[in-house]
Every structure is written in structure tokens, then in C-alpha cells.
Amino acid sequence: FAGRGSVRASGNFNANQDAETLYKAMKGLGTDEDSIIKLLTSRSNSQRQQIKAAYKTLHGKDLVGDLQGELGGKFETLVVALMTPPILYDVTLLRNAIKGAGTDEKVLIEILSSRTAQQVKDITAAYRQEFDADLEEDVTGDTSGHFRRLLVILLQASRQQGVQEGNIETDAQTLFSAGEKNYGTDEDQFITILGNRSAEHLRRVFAAYMKLAGYEMEESVKRETSGGLRDLLLAVVKCARSVPAYFAETLYYSMSGAGTDDQTLIRVMASRSEVDMLDIRADYRRLFAKSLYSTIQGDTCGDYRKAILLLCGGDDA
């Protein structure tokens, strides 16, 4: 997805100049939120890290700490997310999801089903470095059953490469026998196939499965499984089909119904703005017949809205 993000590195970038702009925006009475928003949303994450370093060199203070002191609420949460390197952001989200009160399954599911194998390996290494703990051990200590087994498989980040032509029909048949064909469900087969095959291979399996069962894979997962396992299998299936479409749907549900799930909105906008936001926007329009931009506009307010809209990067009305 190179170059499919809405946020790109600024061409005429000067870290010291940006650090000064931010310092001035926070100096004295009141805070110039507009300057902060415009600057941070028009720089890439690696540029923000350079600004953070320049700020410390010039002012002997921590930029993120100063921003937190000046801002508040959802806007502050978003800015801190934007200032965090991507892998460290994922690691922090996972740690909070496991170590907070109760397990935030939504975060575990979203990150482990959507990240690339290399990203998962980097996350595991960074988690150990950051918290002197083993991510897999922490996940297994906090989850159970089939849900835990599939999370552990995803943490191995060792999906097969490419398409195994000879296994497409057998995989489809195995999934059919494990669910729709017989009474009761053999969850182990769902977990093994959906957890270990490549995305390209799974897309072919889903097509063969549709011919065989007369159902889309998602429909069968919904009918044959429940709870955390069901949510995780659905995310894995959706990400195998299209990661941007998965995030388009995640964003849609974060803003539909009573109240906005701001934690999810912030998480997705911060983590995908440089990756595939243009694809997410296109899928959002295709799936929901309205633009992501207009949905955000109607569902948020204030400085927080301004920043999220700039990360969205434009209206596809």
C-alpha cells in the first residue's frame, strides 16, 4: 500500500522550525490549537519523531508532555497517538488491552488480524523491549479456549506464502464439513485453516466454499461460532478479503448507533493515515454510499473533529 496514505512526509521539512512553531503555539496564555493541528497532521510519523527530538534539544523539555499539559480529552488522546511511533503505538494499545480492567478483545482482534507478518514480529520484539514481558504469555494469561488458540497462531506470524492450488478445494471441503454440513462445529478446523493460510489462498478458498456451501464464509462463521472466537474469525476473514474494507467497516460501526466509539475512531485514523487511508475512503464510499469525511463531520466536534478530518485527507462526496 505504499503511497496510499492520506498523510505524507512534508517536502520542505525543517524539524527545528516546526519545534519552534509548536513551542510558540503553547507559550503564554491560551493555546493555539489550530497551529498544532495543521502542523502535526501535515507531517509523517517519522518527521514528528524528528520534531520531538528537536524540541528537546532546543527547549530541554518533552514535546509530548507539553502537548498533554496544554490539550485535553479526545483531542489530547489523538495527538499523543500521532506522536507515537507506529509499532510502539500498537504495543501500547495491546498492553493496555491486556493489563486494563478486563480484556479489551476488540483491540487484540483488530491489531492481530490486520497487521502484516513482519509487523506482528516487530510488535512482539518491541513488546518485550518495552515491558520486559512476553506478549504471547500475556495474551494466553488473559484469554481462554479457541479464542486464545487462534490469537496464539496469529502471534506466530507464520502464514503460508502464496496459493497452494492443490489445497483450495480440500480446504473449502474441510471448512464445510467442520460447520454447515454437520451438526455441531469443529472449531479447530476453522482456526487451523483461517489462521495459517495466506490471504491470497483464503480468497480462493472462500470462492470455492461459496460454490460448495451456498454461503459466504462470513455467514457461516456467524452461524457456527460465537463470542470472541466469532469476532476474531470474522476479522481474519474480512482482512483476508481486504484490509482497507475491514477498516472502512470498523470506522462505520464506530460512528453508527448511539454515541461515537472515539477510542476506535482515534486508533484507526492514527494507525492507518499513512498506510491505506485513501483505499479505506474508497471502500467506505463503496460500502456505505456516503463519504467517510461527511460521516466524521456529523459525528465529531471541535478541534478533535478538525484533526480527524485532516487525517481523513479529503471528501469523496
Whichever domain contains 280, its CATH number is 1.10.220.10
Residues 70 and 113 in one domain: no
Q: What percent of the chain has pLDDT over 90?
A: 91
Q: Judge residue 57's burial from the number of C-beta atoms within 10 Å of its C-beta, 0-12 exposed, 13-18 middle, 19 or more buried.
A: exposed
Q: Assess whether pLDDT exceeds 70 at residue 105.
A: yes
- Do 218 and 273 share a structural domain? no
pLDDT above 80: residue 227: yes
- Give dist(CA 94, CA 42) in Å, integer: 27
- Looking at residue 317, what is its pLDDT? 67
The answer to whether the beta carbons of residues 61 and 23 sit under 8 Å apart is no
What is the pLDDT averaged over residues 48-67? 98
The pLDDT of residue 180: 87
Q: What is the mean pLDDT of residues 5-18?
A: 92
Instruction: Say what the pLDDT of residue 3 is.
Output: 58
301 pLDDT above the threshold of 70: yes
pLDDT higher than threshold 60 for residue 1: no
d(CA 40, CA 38): 6
What sign does the CA torsion over 272, 274, 276, 281 have? positive
In a domain, residue 4? The reply is no
CA–CA distances in Å: residue 8 to residues 4, 39, 125, 156, 308: 9, 12, 27, 31, 15
Reply yes or no on whether the pLDDT at 204 is more than 70: yes
97 assigned to some structural domain: no
Which residue, 218, 241, 264, sits at the end of a domain?
241
Residue range(s) defining the domain that contains residue 24: 15-83
Is 9 inside a domain boundary? no
10 belongs to a structural domain: no
- 254 and 228 in a common domain: no
Task: Please write the tens of the pLDDT for every residue from 241-272.
Answer: 999 999 999 999 999 988 899 999 999 999 99
For residues 63-77, average pLDDT: 98
Evaluate whether residue 270 is within a structural domain: yes
Q: Would you say residue 181 lies in a domain?
A: yes
The 10s digit of each residue's pLDDT in 154-176 is 999 999 999 999 999 999 999 99
Closest CA to 229 of 161, 269, 179: 179
Q: Do both 133 and 76 map to the same domain?
A: no
Residue 7, in any domain of the structure:
no
Phi, psi of 290 (to 5 degrees): -155, 165
Looking at the structure, tell me whether residues 295 and 261 fall in a common domain.
Answer: yes
Answer yes or no: do 234 and 247 share one domain: no
pLDDT exceeds cutoff 70 at 5: yes
Has residue 92 been placed in a domain? no
- Shared domain check, 251 and 184: no
- CA gap 207, 79 in Å, rounded: 42
What pLDDT does 101 receive?
Answer: 85
CB-neighbour burial class of residue 11 (10 A; exposed 0-12, middle 13-18, buried 19+): exposed
Count of the separate structural domains present in the chain? 4
Q: Is the pLDDT of residue 45 over 90?
A: yes
User: What span, in angstroms and rounded, lies between the C-alpha atoms of 297 and 301?
Assistant: 7
Do 172 and 235 share a domain, yes or no?
yes
